Structure 1
Amino acid sequence: MWTLSGFSDEISPDFQEQCAVASRLGLRYIELRSAWGTNVLDLDDDQLATAARMLADHGLQVSSIGSPIGKVHLDDDAAAHLGRMRRAAHVAQTLGAPYIRIFSFFMRPGTDPDTCRDEVVDRLGELVDVVAGSDVTLVHENEKEIFGDVPRRCADMARALDSPHFGLAWDPANYVQVGVRPFTEAYELLRPHTRYVQIKDALRGSGTVVKAGEGDGEIAQTLSALRADGYDGFFSLEPHLAAGHSMGGFSGPELFGEALRAFTDLLDAEGVAYR
């Protein structure tokens, strides 16, 4: 049984509306990136308690904390960022989220990412250490312009860290936007390390984000392969249908609903059971 989720701030900045729309659409989980216009890591404990009550009132749980951890330059203050990671772990544990989404650092212009490999792995290892011994797993999103933007480096990171608290989040649109054919060129390499799937699609060439199945993200082929492989985890909608930027995106209630229906149409065509 595959479990659907979604970046609820794609629905609305207001957390009450996020919860209401997600529940009305039949979701049982959300991915929490921001609420009331505030990044999830910047919510104070009172706000987290309010969010927890709203989630419970709408029968919702949190699949992942959609954090911005690792979405800084590699030469930025490591100690300060490690403090942010500790906050992310606290938020995840407070809200019962099994995953925290992270990234693998921006490079300065003109830097060959491969020359930074060891430093990136060391920095990621420090982040993983924060959640060691807990029931939280960090999942790395293959964002463009970070170290882990292409499959080769994503696989290298996962092998180097070799931790039950680290895995990969599969984002097909982001692969398309860096010139990768996701299923054709990355699936076999990355499947052993893939712990979480984000659902957005994009057009090759322009990079325009579109509904699942309407772009070049090879989503139908990926779903078929995941089903054959026995994948049993989350699929988190991140539609970006109205706007997208380096720290997130937006769709609005109507487009978010359309994005969900486009994806469930693909699941229905594949004969996959989901909740």
Structure 2
Amino acid sequence: MIHLSAFADEISPDLGEQIAVLQEEQIHFIDLRGAWNSNVLDLSDQQLQEVKQALETAGIGVAAIGSPIGKVSITSDFAEHMQRFERALYVAEYLGSPYVRIFSFYPPTLGEALHQDQQDEPGIDAYRADVLQRLAALTEKAAKAGITLVHENEKMIYGDTIARNVDLLQSVNHSRLRAVFDPANYLECQQEPYPQAYEAVKPWLEYVHVKDVNAQGTLVVAGEGEARWPDILQRLRSDGYDGFLSLEPHLAAAGQFQGFSGADRFRQASQALQRLLREINWEYA
């Protein structure tokens, strides 16, 4: 059976409000990205203890740690970033999360890359070997901790396009590095999410982020954009997918490190997804 999760910091920075809305929407898992205006990796041990206690009391499990690992320049200090990654693994273990979400690094100068064609970014292509070496190192460390990394196809990182995403997954070739399928992100990179991206990453697909974008480039609830969510859900079901569908709607704001929807718009996103699931009689928890 599939399970619903959510980046609940899209609801509010306050953990209590995050939990309250998740309970209202009968969502029993969270992708923990932040609380109290702090990134999950910047929470103190005392704050993590408070998070753990609050979630356990509410009956909410941690599906994934929504870390920013890999969302830095490929030329940044990797030893320093590895220390931050070790914190991510600690947080995952402490909160009982099987997954840590990661990215595959920005070009050296993001400002310049933003003016390049998304289909052709020689800035990051030139660093392919470095990207693969870093991802392999992260994956090996995660494997030793018993944690699985799920790579998100975020705009402007190495693995944003279908071809480069498949390249990194094939090249690292490790059971502890799997793919997030984020259809809206593919659309923002002028890639076809379904069926093209889906078919390409299917061998590694282990996590799904739910958001949608319309033809004007505006983020909308699932089913109201160009991502073909009804078709995607039908296909996931027929292929036997039994993982998480994680809401990340970005309906009010979409920043480099965090999106936001607010409680009311998050509820709209949740209800739109659950309506799509009911329409195909796909049971979820």
SS in 2 for 1:68: coil
Aligned counterpart in structure 2 of residue 218 of structure 1, from 207, 228, 231? 228
In 2, distance between residues paired with 1:186 and 1:50? Answer: 39
2:165 counterpart of 1:142? no
Match of 2:265 in 1: 255
Letter in 1 for 2:226: D
Match of 1:264 in 2: 274
- Map residues 94-133 of structure 1 onto 2, 5 A cutoff: 94-107=94-107, 108=109, 109=112, 112=122, 113-133=124-144
Match of 2:168 in 1: 157
Match of 1:172 in 2: 183
Structure 2 unaligned blocks of 5 or more: 114-120
2:85 counterpart of 1:85? yes
Q: Which runs of 4+ in 1 moved over 6 A?
A: none
| Cα contact 1:66–1:101 (8 A) shared by 2 | yes
Number of aligned positions between the proteins:
274
In 2, distance between residues paired with 1:34 and 1:95? Answer: 14
Letter in 2 for 1:187: Y
In 1, distance between residues paired with 2:219 and 2:88? Answer: 28
In 2, distance between residues paired with 1:106 and 1:64? Answer: 22
In 2, distance between residues paired with 1:61 and 1:85? Answer: 21
SS in 1 for 2:72: coil
- Map residues 34-45 of structure 1 onto 2, 5 A cutoff: 34-45=34-45
2:17 counterpart of 1:17? yes
Match of 2:116 in 1: none
The percent identity for this pair of structures is 45
SS in 1 for 2:238: helix
2:57 counterpart of 1:57? yes
2:219 counterpart of 1:228? no
Q: What TM-score do the two structures reach when normalised by structure 2? A: 0.94
String of CA shifts for 1:236-272, please: whole Å, max 9, x gaps: 0001111111111111111111101101111111221
